[in-house]
Chains A and B, each alone.
Chain A
Amino acid sequence: MTGFIIKRTLQAIPILLGASTLIFLLMHAAPGDPTSMYLRPDIDPVVIEQMRKNLGLDQPVHVQYVRWLSSFATGDFGYSFSQKRPIVDIIKDTLPNTMLLSGIALLVIFAVGVVIGTIQAVRQYSWIDNVATIGAFFFYSMPSFWFGLMLILLLSYKLQWLPASQMTSVNFEFLPASEQWLDRLKHLLMPAVALGIGGAASVARYMRSGMLEQVRQDYVRTARAKGLSERVVIFKHAMRNALIPIITLLGLYLPFLVGGAVLIETIFAWPGIGRLIVTAIFQRDYPVVLATAFVSAIVVVLGSFIADVLYTVVDPRVRVDEGEA
């Protein structure tokens, strides 16, 4: 296992370096720079030139790249052009918020997806299966931002049950601890559902077909023939095998949940890393774009790593330290 981790870590280095370099070049190839926002005839061009100099943008691109890479390698992400503070602080502020939202959304995706998919497989062609199938296609096809706006329209605007934006209410700090918890939950519910529902629908489809495949296998017939209860047959035998492809999905969903939250975070004013990336791209805040892209790349690598490890948990036949996993 240790060997596997070391190997994967070494493999990750060129991937991360390549991704960062590519993004660096793309950002600098995009027209304009942070100072091109200052479109006011009365701003002295000398001032703008000085601003560019202060930000190091007057240097040739390759010099900027080497500078950036060397400070990056020593763990110094630098300062944000727009927020004017260390990027490490910004990521510390935003990443946990995104993790919270994504974590709950991930829970929605897999809990709801697996449960619905299993029910559908066990009750194949029943009305419940048909309704769930139609529902799954509907939610899978709907863009998450549209669904988010509909949730706001219904639950915030019409029914006034849930707050439409932000992580906490204005009077949060004056609430007793018990109610603070509830306040957070209320703010979390809509964005998490909006973010997770599409994924849940797709997981349900995978789970349904996986389960259907398994229940037709000989070992399931054997288990039934042994006289095991249906519960044990489904949950202990069939489900465990049906979960293997789902685990692959889990690995794929991890990075999606960092990048995929961009629109949801914007709609619900959630102060996460997705919104940070979008704002930074618009403002040509190069160091922030690079740092956040780097963090995302790490999550991608980590996601596929976790998926590989999880295989061994659900499938004893897979051993990571025996060659390619």
Chain B
Amino acid sequence: MNARIGIPIGLFSLLMIGCGGGEPAGEGPGTAEAPVDGGTAVISTVSDFDAFNELVSTDYDTNQTMSYILYMNLIQLDEDMNYVPYLADSFWMPEDGLSLSFRIREGVTWHDGTPVTADDVIWTYEMSVNPDIAYANSAYFQYVTRAVKADDRTVRFDFSAAHSDAPMDFTEWSIMPKHLLEGIPAAEMRNAPYNRNPVGNGPFRFVSWQSNQQVVFEANPDFVFGRPHLDRIVVRIIPEQTTVLTELLTGGVDFMRAVPPAEMHRVEESDDHYAITYPARSYTFLVWNTRNPLFESATVRRALTMAINRQEIVEALLYGYGTVAVSDAMPFQWEFNEELEPWPYDVEQARRLLAEEGWTDHDGDGIIDKDGRPFRFTLRTNQGNDLREDIVVIVQNALQQVGIDAQPQMVEWNTFITDLKDKKFEAAVSGWSVDFKFNPTDTFSTEAIEAGQYNYPSYSNPTADSLMDLALSTLDREAAKPLWNQYSEIIHQDQPYTFLYYLNERVGVNNRLRGVEADARGHLINAAEWWIPEDMQRRGAEQPVAVAGEAPR
């Protein structure tokens, strides 16, 4: 439900920025040592933040920073995707599932000393649903009819209908300080000076923001769970990946996200750094337009999937930093069907299935045909995304082996998207970044076939539709699980997409930075627990500390 956007990163490429999942991965060396306070950690990011205000920000990185550094969200997810209290010390739901209440932890204050109260939560909710604000994640509140103040520390959200995983909508929603923002008209919220000079309630306080240079946070000594270990976190904005990597390897930056897969070996071979990988919150797929006679048969679509060596794509293009995808649920989501195996790479079987459907090379021109129509189509992706362009080439070669002529076509991003939404394409390589809450109605339900909606393949299966509806209104995860398993089995058979891969996120960390954990939830999930051994802490000029592998500065 998190509507953070992918912004262009690198010089000329459009990639979706994703992050996420599964087991908490890797920790620094010497984790047996006891953490000490002090020191500055330097994190790099490729593009600047937009606004440290939940109501106006649309950027993924900014959201992560708000959720784990600057603010406290009502509740959080643990590594198994269970809900744990955070700003709220308890939360409860009646058996009918028609409301959800949160009690705010006692003693939490904003960084200016004002206590956090139920009024802040209610005000933030009211602004989030105010149409003039145009809050990007307003879908969090699609079932909420009102927010009621039960007492100074307790808020109850009333729902119009019971729905599955209701607390999920509150895990990435940061509460804003009413006392600092309430005077600002909704339509002017996006230009409020507060956005660049925020007052949070989380483990770190905002210090300064130099546009396109750096943002500085410092430890909040009054943090309700105790002072974080680091004195400061400096986020430096460096757009060029080669430059960031150099900074990482020479000690200028301690923590680099999105290390290019081809360069990961430099981090792994370095004695002064360690690598963390974890499932990104995104997957990449080939979409077949099922309205096109070429792709209307599920058997043909399965044959197409089998003709493509997806493991090769993972190995050759991602250097192994990914896994072959099997469904639209991600492995870190509880809705994921563990039983499902990707269709095997089997060219013979693909040929057989195509022949069964009448697709053979009748006229001997090397292209299979049926009723006089050759199996020829254009395979699109968005221009400037090198990875996807490479995928198109690999797929083109693979399909040639079974006598299918896929003609690559690179299209400008906005045109690409508009044509996908209007279903004016034959086949395309695209991707989704996903949320923790699994909801396929936007992408695979019959309703979403309408022009401008996101059911790109125009996929329609009444059984899948009713399974989605049923599962999404089932309160209990255990009861919903079999429904989702059944749903994903149908998608697996029908192959509206050929699922290509789930990407793995790659992080490089300097040895000095200890205690780092990262998983599908993000790269900052435990920033409050990061620490730096005393002899490795950066100091001011009075005591420059040389660390192995660090450039003297």
With known contacts A36-B417, A37-B6, A271–B50 Cβ distance under 8 A: no
Residues from 181 to 204 in B contacting A, C-beta threshold 8 Å: 187, 190-191, 193, 195-196
Is A179 an interface residue when CB atoms closer than 8 A count as contact? yes
Residues of A within 8 Å of B244, CB to CB, are: 165
Shortest Cβ distance from A79 into B: residue: B191
Tell whether, in the assembled complex, residue A163 and residue B413 are in contact, meaning their CB atoms are under 8 Å apart.
Answer: no
Kindly identify which residue among B40, B42, B190 contacts A84, using a CB–CB cutoff of 8 Å.
B190
Complex contact A47–B138 (CB within 8 A): yes
Contacting residues of chain B (208-247) with chain A, CB-CB under 8 angstroms: 210-214, 234, 236-240, 242-244, 246-247
Q: Distance (Å) between the CB of A128 and the closest chain B CB?
A: 34
- Complex Cα spacing A149 to B244, Å: 12
B212 touches A42 (CB 8 A): no
Cross-chain contact B541 with A171 (CB below 8 angstroms): yes
Give Cα distance in the complex from A43 to B553, angstroms.
Answer: 46
B11 touches A42 (CB 8 A): no
Tell me which of B127-135, B347-355, B505-513 binds A. B127-135
Cβ contacts A257-271/B at 8 Å (1 or 0 each): 000000100111101
Contact with B along A8-41 (1 / 0, CB 8 A): 0000000000000000000000011000111111
Contact string against B for A residues 69-96, beta-carbon threshold 8 Å, 1 for contact and 0 otherwise: 0000000000100111100001001100
Distance of A280 from chain B, by nearest CB (Å) = 11
How many contacting A-B pairs (Cβ < 8 A)? Answer: 176
In the bound complex, residues from chain B placing their C-beta under 8 Å from that of A263 are 11
Q: How near does chain A come to B423, taking the closest CB pair, in angstroms?
A: 14
Determine the distance from Cα of A175 to Cα of B553 in the docked complex, in whole angstroms: 11
What chain B residues lie within 8 Å of A32 (beta carbons)?
A: 413-414
Tell me whether A42 and B553 are in contact in the complex, defined as CB-CB below 8 angstroms, given that A157-B246, A267-B240 are known contacts. Answer: no
Q: Is the CB of A175 within 8 A of B541?
A: yes
Q: B541, A174: Cβ atoms under 8 Å?
A: yes
How far apart are the CA atoms of A183 and B552 in the complex, in Å? 11
> Nearest chain A CB to B162's CB is how many angstroms away?
20
* A164 CB–B CB distance under 8 Å: yes
A267 surroundings in chain B (CB, below 8 A): 240, 242-243
* B150: interface (CB < 8 Å): no
- Determine if B452 and A266 form an interchain contact, defined as CB atoms under 8 angstroms apart: no
Q: Are the C-beta atoms of B50 and A84 separated by less than 8 Å? A: yes
With an 8 A cutoff between CB atoms, is A108 at the interface?
no
CB contacts (< 8 Å) of B552 on chain A: these are 160
- Asked if A138 is at the interface (CB within 8 A of a chain B CB), the reply is no
Does A157 contact B249, Cβ atoms closer than 8 Å? yes
* Residues of A close to B51: CB separation below 8 A: 84
- What residues of chain B lie closer than 8 Å to A166, measured between beta carbons? 213-214, 236, 238
A171 vs B537: C-alpha distance in the bound complex, in angstroms?
Answer: 11
Beyond known contacts A40-B4, A266-B239, A271-B211: 14 more, CB 8 A cutoff: A39-B6, A42-B1, A42-B3, A42-B139, A53-B134, A83-B48, A84-B190, A85-B193, A165-B243, A170-B252, A171-B40, A174-B539, A176-B541, A282-B8
7 pairs across A/B with beta carbons < 8 Å? A42-B3, A84-B50, A152-B242, A165-B247, A165-B252, A268-B240, A279-B212
Which residues on A are within 8 Å of B, measured CB to CB? 31-32, 36-48, 50-51, 53-54, 79, 82-85, 90, 93-94, 149, 152-153, 156-157, 160-161, 163-167, 169-171, 174-176, 179, 183, 186, 263, 266-269, 271, 275-276, 279, 282-283
- In the A-B complex, list the 8 residue pairs whose CB atoms are closest, starting with the nearest: A174-B540, A32-B414, A41-B442, A31-B414, A160-B551, A50-B134, A41-B454, A271-B212
